């Protein structure tokens, strides 16, 4: 991952998103990055070609854009007036996930920052967008929980199954974050009670150890029957500011974004989640 110079911040103007914007601003100040604030006016998330003729005429696009522009101006006055962070506001109408992905390509985005929380209705819908972007983004995505505040990370936690050597290249973002913030890395592996490590897992551990040579790191092994509860157990006993997930753990990531699919786990830690690119 190259230096973080362009941050994309998709927003639905909810309190959760506004909190994530504060996090994005603090991060941008730290790394001297520009923020692109994107709002996609909500319409059904399907391909444009699927809409019936006259659909867009039935939607008052000008009214939607004007309303979005007013909310963008409110963001400026409430959050962006004092901080000297370069930013650009973008308003689009169309399929949300597709337009986020388009903006990532068009603006040469290095990192996406999004808010997420347990909610119903529109905020649950935006949460599903967060999940889609986490799974499909070609750049890392930083998911900010509802009440998280920016704290310069001194320690980040990489949760891994130690079984995908081909994904080492995807860890470049982790190494970049650790070096930018001079943070150490805990490599956390949750494994079933009584299960031995495979030869492949030992090889991956050695390769990962070498990959992180210039980053202070250590390996922590926790025996637990439930991965989510095992990670929670780690946070109960260790101080860390960020959780990082490997690119291939999308089933687990869905549980992080949609807390209803899990027992209680990571949302109780209120730790930002850095989802590495797929």
CB-based contacts of 139: which residues, under 8 Å, 6+ apart? 104, 109, 110, 111, 112, 277
Question: Which fold does the domain 6-145 belong to in CATH?
Answer: Rossmann fold (3.40.50)
Stated as kind and residue range, the H or E segment containing 233 is helix 227-237
Q: pLDDT tens, 162-200?
A: 766 556 777 888 998 999 999 999 999 887 777 777 777
Contact 113, 23 (CB under 8 A): yes
Cα torsion angle, 233, 241, 188, 128, sign: positive
Return the percentage of the chain with pLDDT > 90, whole number: 39
Strand order in the sheet with 155-159: 87-93, 34-41, 6-10, 111-116, 141-145, 273-275, 242-245, 155-159, 184-191, 217-223
* Extents of the domains making up the chain: 6-145, 155-271
Please state, rounded to an integer, the average pLDDT across all residues of the chain.
Answer: 80
d(CA 184, CA 250): 25
Q: What is the pLDDT of residue 270?
A: 75
Question: What is the third-level CATH fold of 155-271?
Answer: Rossmann fold (3.40.50)
pLDDT digits (tens, 9 = 90+) for 88-120: 999 998 888 899 999 999 999 999 999 886 544
pLDDT in tens, 2-20: 689 999 999 999 999 999 9
Q: Summarize the confidence of residues 241-268 as an average pLDDT.
A: 54
Residue 150 near residue 22 (C-beta atoms within 8 A): yes
Residue 189 burial by CB count (10 A; 0-12/13-18/19+): exposed, middle or buried? buried
Tell me if domain 6-145 and domain 155-271 are identical in fold. yes
- What are the tens digits of pLDDT across the range 116-155? 865 444 444 445 777 788 878 889 999 998 888 999 999 9
DSSP element (H, E) containing 26: helix 15-31
The C-alpha atoms of residue 30 and residue 71 are separated, in whole angstroms, by: 26
């Amino acid at each position: 991952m190259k230096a973080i110079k362009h941050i994309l911040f998709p927003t639905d103007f909810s309190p959760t998103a506004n909190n994530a914007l504060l996090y994005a601003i603090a991060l941008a100040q730290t790394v001297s990055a520009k923020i692109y604030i994107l709002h996609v006016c909500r319409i059904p998330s399907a391909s444009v070609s699927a809409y019936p003729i006259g659909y867009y005429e039935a939607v008052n696009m000008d009214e939607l854009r004007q309303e979005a522009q007013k909310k963008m101006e409110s963001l400026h006055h409430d959050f962006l007036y004092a901080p000297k962070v370069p930013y650009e506001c973008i308003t689009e109408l169309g399929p949300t996930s597709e337009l986020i992905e388009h903006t990532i390509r068009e603006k040469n985005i290095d990192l996406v920052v999004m808010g997420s929380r347990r909610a119903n209705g529109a905020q649950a819908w935006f949460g599903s967008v967060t999940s889609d972007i986490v799974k499909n983004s070609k750049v890392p995505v930083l998911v900010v929980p509802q009440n998280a505040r920016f704290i310069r990370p001194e320690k980040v936690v990489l949760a891994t199954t130690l079984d995908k050597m081909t994904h080492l290249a995807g860890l470049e973002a982790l190494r970049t974050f650790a070096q930018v913030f001079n943070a150490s890395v805990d490599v956390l592996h949750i494994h079933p009670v009584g299960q031995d490590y495979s030869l492949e897992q030992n090889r991956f551990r050695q390769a990962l150890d070498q990959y992180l040579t210039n980053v202070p790191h250590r390996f922590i092994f926790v025996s637990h029957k439930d991965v989510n509860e095992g990670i929670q157990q780690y946070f109960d006993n260790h101080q860390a500011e960020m959780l990082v997930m490997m690119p291939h753990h999308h089933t687990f990531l869905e549980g992080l974004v949609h807390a209803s699919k899990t027992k209680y786990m990571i949302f109780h830690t209120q730790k930002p989640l850095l989802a590495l690119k797929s």
